[in-house]
Amino acid sequence: MEIRASPNCVQGKRRSPKAEIQGKGSHLPARAILLRAFKKEALLELWAADTEDKSYVLVNEYRICTSSGILGPSAALATNRCGGFLRIGLVQSAEHFFLSLHISYPNTSDRILGSHQNPGGDIFLHGNCASIGCLPITDDGIKEVYWLAVQVRNLGQQHLPIHIFPARLTDDGLKASATTHPKQPALIAFWSNLKQGHDLFEKTHRLPIIKTRGDGTYEFVDKITSRGKH
């Protein structure tokens, strides 16, 4: 299957993932997806690829219609902070929502960097437009994303990644975020670490190998570069 970047996404004319891929004459479904959430911009991106080790293209965008909580690095449930390189799992329903995707928060990094007493949890990507600490993308949006998540899971993608950022972490984006959170060096250091993974994907459109160091920070390895060393 060949998937090309969609001009409809770039121009903001939203169609379903199925319509986007069919419109390119491709065979459905894609075999790998990636979700990227930008909390400041209230935007969720859906990327797809032939396989997990191929280049991804932007298939669709969804507005996050409300959000709450501090923008990462990790979270006590009381403050609902969430961010980083996570995974999603299929859930038939969550309380108050007819469809949802569970987000694997807290992950290893969160457990090291966050509150050891109560790191938080129960974070979902879901429908509707009401939320505390989660990512709601309306019922229509979650139906589209859930449909494609089921397809790629059935075709063998075991881990469905979701990358959650406080904002688009361009150089200016990081500076702006740092300005709004003065005297929080640990938070800024965490966002700077996220920026490394953000920038690597922006450069290659391929999923990097992501590891967690002993101090809780992420390490990113470009798969192509890594193969060239062997």
With 0-12 / 13-18 / 19 or more C-beta atoms within 10 angstroms meaning exposed / middle / buried, residue 166 is buried
DSSP character string of 86-108: EEEEEES-BTTBSSEEEE--S-H
- With contact defined as beta carbons under 8 Å apart, do 57 and 68 qualify? no
Dihedral sign for Cα 145, 151, 154, 156, please.
negative
- With contact defined as beta carbons under 8 Å apart, do 115 and 100 qualify? no
In this predicted model, what pLDDT tens digit does every residue of 128-185 receive, in sequence order? 887 666 788 988 999 999 999 999 999 999 889 999 999 999 999 999 999 999 988 9
User: What pLDDT sits at residue 13?
Assistant: 46
84 backbone dihedrals φ, ψ, rounded to 5° = 125, -160
Region of 69 (left: φ > 0; alpha: ψ -120 to 50; beta: rest) is: left
In this predicted model, what pLDDT tens digit does every residue of 71-98 receive, in sequence order? 444 343 323 345 899 999 876 555 666 6
